[in-house]
Amino acid sequence: MALQKCKITKYTYGKPFFTDAVTEKIAQGEGAPAYVTEIENGFTYQMGDSDVVYGLGENVRGINKRGWHYISNNTDDPNHREDKVSLYGTHNFIIVDGKERFGLFIDYPGKLSFDIGYTERNTLTITAEEMDLDLYILEGESLNDIVKGLRQMIGRSYIAPKWAFGYGQSRWSYMTADEVREVVKKHRENHIPLDSVYLDIDYMERYKDFTINKETFPDFADFVQEMKEENIHLVPIIDAGVKIEEGYDVYEEGVEKGYFCKEADGSYFTGAVWPGLVHFPDMLNPDARKWFGHKYKILMDQGIDGFWNDMNEPAIFYSAKRIKKAMETAKAVDSDNMDMVHFDEFREIVSTLSNNPEDYKSFYHNVDGKGTMVCHDKVHNLFGYNMTRAAGETFEELEPEKRVLMYSRSSYPGMHRYGGIWQGDNLSWWSHLKLNMSMMPSLNMIGFLYTGADLGGFGADTTEDLMLRWLEFGIFTPLMRNHSALGTRRQEAYQFGAMEAMKKIIGLRYGLLPYIYSEYMKSALRGEMYMKPLGFDYENDAFAAKVEDQLLLGDSIMVAPVYEQNAEGRYVYLPETMKMVKFRSLTERTEEILPAGHHYVPIALDEVVIFIRPNHILPLSKGGENVADTDFTDLELLGYVTEEASYEWYDDDGYGRDYENPANYTTFTVKADKTVEVKGQKKLKVQVNL
Ligand code: GLC
């Protein structure tokens, strides 16, 4: 591949399953791979004392993954505690940065374990369940070059429609159309900006994919249209399991065509999720995938232009076989006075009902549609990817001119071309705000740019201060959605005494949109990261490499959110002199130049702080109550310019796919005396504010 600054070499072991993660042809290496030593079923590397290991996408712990072990095994686990080893996605990419600098991407859809100094402080060990994998070694001069090389190899990241960069409000569930109307009304009458409302599982009829509950959501197409007139996009959830129910067309068609996953004896595997018993569409079978993908059209025909794919690890509450056995065991141990041994037996069988590895071993995929059967367990981590690919391929086919919002819970590289991800069922915990921050750059590296976490936290009750602080970070993540679980405290911005402050913070997102959208688009089109750890741009600054709680956002700014309860500020490390801008709202702000080094920065509960890099600018809008209402032609250039700053601004219509059009680019060059030169084809009103 013609990559100037990153050399990629491929090493193939055994017979890898073709995942379609890699889109470029990469030359096979000769002999043993560089850097790593081959061991039984894997590789090992001796790290230096202070090497940093970046990567692994969606996982617990920090940006530097050292000191823990992780297993790529897509899992529906809502307890994102520090001692967990697997979450919903598989992102087998790491960069070792220290005495040597290289990237490793392992294309392997089964269980892969990364022991990064857990067993032995300086030993990195990667082991696969079976040695059928492709190892890619990436060598680049800089961390950014390595990432760019990887991204060229795996193809362009998904691009969401512009409205999906606005604020979204979600809840499990808004139960009726009237409840949705009420949520929209409350936002609009309080002037809290809003672009989308999410429909969780209860919009469906008995949790059946691609159906609408006609009693609670009557005249759905009209309702979708009514919301569109308010500039609100409704985004329904789609689950992986298809309910087993006579007369339900998706179920009946799937059975008739043989498109569901089968057991060894040829019968359909039966699991249970929200609707009760389900079959799982064989997302790895190209024909079944196309069939399932085309079902999204049922909702698109009613005006829907965005979806979220869920439970696609796939999550299995129980399998039909297993629960039957559990019931029998329960009966066998049943007594008026269960002793410890029997109680343990009972407890064990109940606690291992969900997502049981034996169940994943008991069904198969018809991977070529021609009868080549592969056990699910061996390709487990590809299921969510291919569900999302089913939808993405349909969108490209049916809507070649229009972008459709799509993001998924489960993922694998390759899926980044079809959709984004949200970071799953977090909790309303301060540590999960921090985790949201750590996951951003790790996911960005491997191409998942359109991502964010459930703001305010999904499970458990949130608090007003956590909601505020989380919004203060959430305004910077491409996906900005407030979502919460059934039974938890309501957390729409208007539920809080601090509504005015929340409104201003959300409003600031719309002010920042010209910059956020431009940086997103450039990172997608150029294979770069939208949010980066400091070490990526300040490579010779050993301290910067260890900063875990500040991120560079695009070219011009650094963010340093507050993530501790009752904190009235925080320590911030500046790798160089920067201009701090403190916002109470888009228009209420103060500025201060801070020299390089460590600072304690007071940040009140209703304040957002950004740090502008020297000789950098960023374009702001005058705000809006939704994306359509935000004027991208009336810009303020906010900056820190001692000599000259130049900013390449990307903007387009936000809906089409004409990404390469040179008219999408405008260059602003601002001098310290505030003069500005604008080069581009757009008619803009530009005001400079240094
Ligand atoms: C899963 C999803 C969550 C959703 C819930 C109900 O837990 O991760 O976002 O609200 O299912 O559909």
Please identify, by atom number, the ligand 1 atom nearest to the C-alpha of residue 424: 8
Confidence of residue 333 (pLDDT cuts 50, 70, 90): confident
Atom of ligand 1 nearest to the CA of 458: 9
d(CA 509, CA 621): 10
Tell me how far the alpha carbon of residue 172 lies from the centroid of ligand 1, in angstroms: 7
The mean per-residue pLDDT over the stretch 499-517 comes to 98
198: β partners: 235
Point out the ligand 1 atom lying closest to the alpha carbon of residue 454: 9
The DSSP code sequence of 501-516 is HHHHHHHHHHHHHHHH
Q: Which residue out of 80, 175, 200 has the highest number of ligand 1 atoms within 8 Å of its CB and is therefore the one to mutate?
A: 200
CA of 323 to the centre of ligand 1 (A): 23
> Tens digits of per-residue pLDDT, 612-654?
999 999 999 999 999 999 999 999 999 999 999 999 999 999 9
pLDDT, position 3: 58
Pocket test for ligand 1, best of 169, 173, 310 (most atoms within 8 A of CB): 310
- For the CA of 237, the nearest atom of ligand 1: 12
Binding pocket residue ranges, ligand 1, CB within 6 Å:
172, 200-201, 237, 310, 409, 424-425, 483
Residue 172 CA: nearest ligand 1 atom is 10
Q: Please name the residue whose Cα sits nearest to atom 4 of ligand 1.
A: 172
Whether residue 145 is predicted with pLDDT greater than 70 in this model: the reply is yes
Task: Point out the least confidently predicted range of 31-40, 243-252, 331-340, 418-427.
Answer: 331-340
Q: What is the pLDDT of residues 359-407, one digit of tens each?
A: 999 999 999 999 999 999 999 999 999 999 999 999 999 999 999 999 9
Which residue's C-alpha comes closest to atom 3 of ligand 1? 425
Closest CA to 311 of 252, 368, 388, 373: 388
Distance 451 CA to ligand 1 centre (A): 16
- Residue 6: CB atoms within 10 A of its CB come to 22
From the CA of 201, give the closest atom in ligand 1.
12
* C-alpha 493 to ligand 1 mean position (Å): 20
Q: Tell me, what's the pLDDT at 4?
A: 65
Atom number of ligand 1 nearest to Cα 425? 8
Tell me which of 237, 407, 484 to substitute to probe ligand 1's pocket, judged by most ligand atoms within 8 Å of the beta carbon: 237
Question: For residue 587, what pLDDT is reported?
Answer: 97
* pLDDT for 335: 83
What spacing in Å lies between the alpha carbon of 641 and ligand 1's midpoint? 46
Q: What is the pLDDT of residue 627?
A: 98
Tokens of 612: 């502008």
Atom of ligand 1 nearest to the CA of 409: 8
- From residue 506, alpha-carbon distances to 379, 585, 614 in Å are 41, 9, 27
Determine the Cα–Cα distance for residues 680 and 667; give it in Å rounded to an integer.
6
Residue 194 CA, ligand 1 centroid: distance in Å: 21
pLDDT of residue 167: 99
Distance 411 CA to ligand 1 centre (A): 16
Mutating to test ligand 1, I would choose from 425, 427, 428, 491 the residue with most ligand atoms within 8 A of its C-beta, which is: 425
Token pair recorded at residue 4 = 């100037």
Q: Which atom of ligand 1 is nearest to the CA of 78?
A: 7
Whole-number Å distance, alpha carbon 235 to ligand 1 midpoint, is 14
Q: What is the mean pLDDT of residues 57-85?
A: 98
Q: How confident is the model at residue 77 (pLDDT cuts 50, 70, 90)?
A: very high
Alpha carbon of 311 to ligand 1 centroid (Å): 8
Contact between 385 and 240 under an 8 Å Cβ cutoff? The reply is no
Cα distances from 406 to residues 72, 73, 151, 163, 413, in angstroms, run 23, 22, 20, 12, 15
C-beta atoms surrounding 373 within 10 Å: 14
pLDDT in tens, 264-300: 999 999 999 999 999 999 999 999 999 999 999 999 9
3-state secondary structure 436-485: HHHHHHHHHHCCCCCEECEECCCECCCCHHHHHHHHHHHCCCCCEEECCC
Q: What is the per-residue pLDDT across 88-109, written as a single tens digit (0 to 9) for each?
A: 999 999 999 999 999 999 999 9
Q: How many CB atoms lie within 10 A of CB 79?
A: 10
Predicted confidence at residue 1, as pLDDT, reads 46
How many angstroms does the Cα of residue 636 sit away from the middle of ligand 1? 39
